[in-house]
Amino acid sequence: MASLKLEHIYKVYPNGHKAVTDFNMDIKDGEFIVFVGPSGCGKSTTLRMIAGLEDISTGELYIGDTLVNDMQPKDRDIAMVFQNYALYPHMTVYENMAFGLTLRKVPRTEIHEKVMWAADVLGLKEYLDRKPKAMSGGQRQRVSLGRAILRNPKVMLLDEPLSNLDAKLRGQMRSMISKLHQQLKTTFIYVTHDQVEAMTLGTRVVVMKLGRVQQIDSPQNLYDHPVNKFVAGFIGTPQMNFFNVRLKEEKDHVDVIWKDCEQPALRLSKDQVLKAEKKFLTGEKDIILGFRCEHVSAEEEELAKGDNIVDVTISHFEELGNETLIYGDLKEIEKLGEESTTGIIIKAPSKMGHVAGDVIKARINVEKINLFDAETEITIIPPVPERNVLPVSIKNEKMDLFGEQTKPASIPVDFLENGTIALPLDATQVCEKGSVEGKVVLVEKQGEITLAMVEVKGKKLFLKVEEGVKAGDKVKFTVDYSRATFRDEKDAVVAEPLKDRDCINATFVNYKTAEEVTKDPSFAKMKDEKVAKVKAEYEEKRKAFEAEKERALKEAQEKQNAVNASVAEREAALAKEKEETKKQLAEAKAQYRKDVKEAKAKHAQIMKEEMAKIDAQYKKMKDEEKADYKEFMMKNKDPESRRSRRTSYSVFKESFPAMKASDVEKRTNSLDFEKETELNGLKARYSQLVALSKDKLKEDERKFKEECYPLETTTKEYEKKTKAFDKEEQDALRRAELLFFFKYDEFYQLLPDDITNKIIQGMGERVFTKIFRIEVPHDGFEEKEGALEFKVVSLVNFGDVKLYKCAGTMYGEKVNVYINQERDIALGEVIHLAPIVEKTQIYEDERNIRLY
């Protein structure tokens, strides 16, 4: 059992095609994760990358706390179930399941126990001696599951395991997998294109499209709150109903107007669109309205509620037995022509006496609707809004946002009337020092985030708050105006936010190049220091190792002295045991041969009897038909019926041999299966016996050697250990000589090993020829001697946030960076800055990938 962490995982093929783009996810221990999406969306590729069957182009994959990018599949402690089962056809079910453990040299008794356990869990006990070809699809997939679970892996990977099964079996297997997950409590990752499987199995579902993650959420949340139109349309059968609409905010409600219509069709309460930005509610933006078929109703009691009623022309029905889907078109938009989509699906208990062509009334439950921006197809009412958009006015160095206040000097806007300010959710932080105070109106929990709507002087905004905050509480928060976007009344941007990161370019160089180019002796010193440190470390370790070796050898010598007297006696005992085992095995072999002979004879006898039975049966059938025909011909004189009888008799005669042959073949096949299964069983038990006694003998021999010649064994053991230790030391020393730097203009910065590894792994041999874009956050600079030279130009004051603007020159061009420093710096001072690499983000633009 283990958790998984996928960080910025990309799969880029040599032809440049990106199968997976920037996949990020934390999977908790014991979760059941389902990857779902249409074909070609990268779900299987992601799974195969986790399995190690496909290389990860860039990014990092952790299973537990171990980075497994470069690990072989067999070392990752995972198990996988394939869509096409991938059973070994020449092995029996037992051998198939045991194969993995055999390769891992698990003791035979333990393997046997585990196979029996897995067979018991999956109901396969009676099939253990069969070969895959003698089993049905469902049984084969159970074997495949068994093979996976008996290793008790950290992670179970299932690649569309039910796709090859028929619908009924799929249902059964689904509940079996679900039960298995509950029983094993292992982390499951399951790939499917079937959204029913995704919804029923997953604790969390990852919806993917074209290599990108669309949404990661619980099945219910995916269903109720899809983040975009794709997810809304993909999840749920039948598909969600979509219509093009506009939204217009009125005094106490919001009107939904069909696109190109005048009259409002539906009415929403204002609470429903609280999280929507105001620009969507002006009646000018195109919106996609989505609702599910169960949220439209044509039933009397719903219609009686009176509001949000539409006319639908029925086109056809789909009767599903327990319910009926009514397909129709919205009458109001139908009139408009072909431009808009008009199709609507309504779930009803029955046809309710309607026929195709009828116009009926239906009520839309507007509380359950989804709204998407038609341009981006992203929801306009997200569970957690990305930003707050509030009205703002600026005049005479005053800003009217949360009441009138002095405009922070750094806001580059002098005059704004009826404008808006957009603040990312993170730009407002609740804390004691906050300069703005508001009253909590309502609190809701969205996953791990507690979200509060806070009212400040008549304006409502959402804040992330700590758990425990209640409606009615007062909270203080800070506002980071450096991240605000100001727009005027026509929605044109008047001030962009300051970027949260500054970009600088760098190249990747190794120690030799740096030394060669700069002729700076400090590089050599740097290397020597690193090597010296490793050397010292290993000297220490070697001392400990040698001491341990000496002690072990001394102990072994003592043991040897004590045991010498009894060696001869034990040797004799061992020889005797060998002799006995040999005898036993010979007996077992004879018995096995006898059993096989008997079984073969038995089956030959059965076969003979069965064939005789079939012969007799068909002979009887033939005779009866012949007699019947003769009798008919004798008694009947009507030419028409005589002719028809003659034809039917000749048809019988012609098809008779084929009928018999097919019966014979069927019987032979099933008898052959039985025979093969029995022989397989005999063979399996015999080889199990042989292997067990051989194992025992081997183990006894090993014990004898270890106990009677402890000195020899220990010496050998330590020879091996010494070799391994030497190799480890050499490797460490070789690694210590590898030093890599980022070269910013003329400044070389030593890179820590983990970041170096990531960059080299992501770029391969091209690493030295590319330019990297380093994005440094404002607090990601440190002052360092000899680093990049900057002059502090100004102090930028955004109210709660103060940044120093520094100007410098890099690669012959002017560069500005904003830094957030603890100490006070005088304006005009020249400082030397170096990025703190751990805090930066590293990109390579040519392939458009993030490396760190």
Q: Which residues in this chain contact another protein in the complex, by CB under 8 A?
A: 51-53, 72-74, 78-80, 82-90, 99-100, 103-104, 131-135, 137, 140, 147, 164, 643, 647
Both tokens of 663, joined, read 């019966």
- From the CB of 53, what's the least distance to another protein, in Å? 5
Nearer to another protein, 52 or 328 (CB): 52
Q: Look at residues 607, 619, 601, 609 and name the one whose alpha carbon lies nearest to residue 670.
A: 607
Radius of gyration of the chain (CA): 38
Long-range contacts of 446-452 (CB under 8 A, 24+ apart): 446/383, 446/384, 447/383, 449/384, 451/384
DSSP, collapsed to helix, strand or coil, labels residue 189 as strand
Instruction: Output 512 or 643, the one with its CB closest to another protein.
Output: 643
- Considering the complex, state which of residue 190 and residue 223 has its C-beta at the smaller distance from another protein: 190
Q: What's the closest the beta carbon of residue 131 comes to another protein, in angstroms? A: 6
Q: What angle (nearest 5°) sits at the alpha carbon of residue 642, between those of residues 640 and 644?
A: 70
Task: Report in angstroms how near the CB of residue 83 gets to another protein at its nearest.
Answer: 8
Q: How far is the CB of 447 from another protein (least distance, A)?
A: 33
Cβ proximity to another protein: between 100 and 434 the closer is: 100
Q: What residues have CB less than 8 Å from 25, skipping those under 6 apart? A: 4, 5, 6, 33, 206, 213, 216
CB of 132 to another protein, least distance (A): 4
Helices 93-103, 137-149: crossing angle, 10 deg rounding: 20
Cβ closer to another protein: 357 or 657?
657
To another protein, the closest distance from the beta carbon of 254 in angstroms equals 53
Nearer to another protein, 78 or 421 (CB): 78
Shortest distance (Å) from residue 272 CB to another protein = 48
Distance CA 613, CA 620 (A): 11
- Helices assigned H by DSSP within 53-212: 93-103, 108-122, 137-149, 167-184, 195-201
Closest CA to 33 of 217, 210, 184: 217
CB of 674 to another protein, least distance (A): 16
Both tokens of 693, joined, read: 């006694």
CB 454, CB 462: distance < 8 Å: yes
| Biggest CA-to-CA distance, the chain | 128
CB nearer another protein, residue 134 or residue 298: 134
Contact call for residues 88 and 95 (beta carbons, < 8 A): yes
Question: In the complex, what is the shortest distance from the CB of residue 92 to another protein, in angstroms, rounded to a whole number?
Answer: 11
Of 165 and 256, CB closest to another protein: 165
Question: Is 578 in a helix, a strand, or coil?
Answer: helix
Using CA atoms, how far apart are residues 446 and 725, in angstroms rounded to an integer?
52
User: CB of 200: closest distance to another protein in angstroms?
Assistant: 23
Closer to another protein at the Cβ: 28 or 646?
Answer: 646
Give the Cα separation of 446 and 224 in Å (integer).
Answer: 13
Q: Cβ of residue 124: shortest distance to another protein, in angstroms? A: 15
Question: Which CB atom, from 643 or from 666, has the smaller least distance to another protein?
Answer: 643
Q: How far is CA 684 from CA 57, 93, 95, 129, in A?
A: 44, 11, 9, 8
DSSP 837: G
N-term to C-term CA, the chain: 27
CB of 172 to another protein, least distance (A): 18
123: left (phi over 0), alpha (psi -120 to 50) or beta: left
Cα 399 from chain centre: 47
Nearer to another protein, 94 or 477 (CB): 94
As a whole number of angstroms, the distance between CA 187 and CA 189 comes to: 7
Q: How many separate helices (H) and strands (E) can be counted in the chain? A: 16, 41
- Tokens 């009888």 sit on residue: 645
The 3-class secondary structure across 345-394, one letter per residue, is EEEECCCCCCCCCCEEEEEECHHHCEEEECCCCEECCCCCCCEEEEEEEE
Give the nearest distance from C-beta 147 to another protein in angstroms.
8
Nearer to another protein, 110 or 520 (CB): 110
Bridge pairing between strands 398-401 and 403-406: antiparallel
- Smallest gap from Cβ 347 to another protein, in A, equals 35
Please identify, using beta-carbon distances, which residue of 72 and 322 lies nearer to another protein: 72
| Closer to another protein by Cβ: residue 95 or 277 | 95
